[in-house]
Chain A
């Protein structure tokens, strides 16, 4: 298994509070991604990073921000959580130097916003 951990694994918070999710990798892969998973929608890309301090928006980036100060860590922040952000969040990594640049996923964080 790819060395990807996510923390916390579960979190319950209240509307309006800030929340930060952490993704940590030990594979030294350059690309990192944050997705959210909701029933019927598959996975949707929130933000991604193609290197330290290089990030870009995905298809559902509103209400989320990210930071990447080190190769191994990619943080996802909900500045003011809303109930619509209740979801399961997955981090993924990939190595652009490989032919397929396939993505490998972490175990996920289940976030509930009350």
Chain B
């Protein structure tokens, strides 16, 4: 079974500063990894996904995630955050039977 761990429950950050959200996974089978974002009082939206190929995956709103097999990590980064990036971010990995296992979430609070 695959488990996913998000190492930080909350990350305060100032506007225009960089942010990194850490995610580690454990699995001995194929790797499908995802990052989702949840804005206040909304459902989850897919931010980006990884299966194979380039280890750096980019999303349309400036986030990127790097897959690192040796460290079993899939950290999410953004070089310069905006107030609108305030949200909760979830890392997820696919387990058997097309089920997703989610990390506990990281709440990002962007301060002006």
Contact = CB atoms under 8 A, between A and B. Distances in A.
Interface residues of B, number: 22
A48 interface: yes
A90 B51 contact: no
A44 to B, nearest CB: 8
A104 B9 CA distance: 23
B44 interface: yes
A40 B104 contact: yes
Interface size class of A (residues with CB under 8 A): 20 to 34
Which of B6, B42, B44 is the most central at the interface, judged by chain A CB atoms within 10 Å of its CB?
B44
Given A42-B104, A99-B51, A105 B99 contact: no
Nearest to B90: A42
Interface of A: 4, 31, 33, 40-45, 48, 50, 56, 58, 90, 92, 94, 96, 99-108
Interface of B: 6, 9, 32, 34, 36, 42-46, 49, 51, 90, 94, 97-100, 102-105
A106 B44 CA distance: 8
Contacts of A101: 32, 94, 98
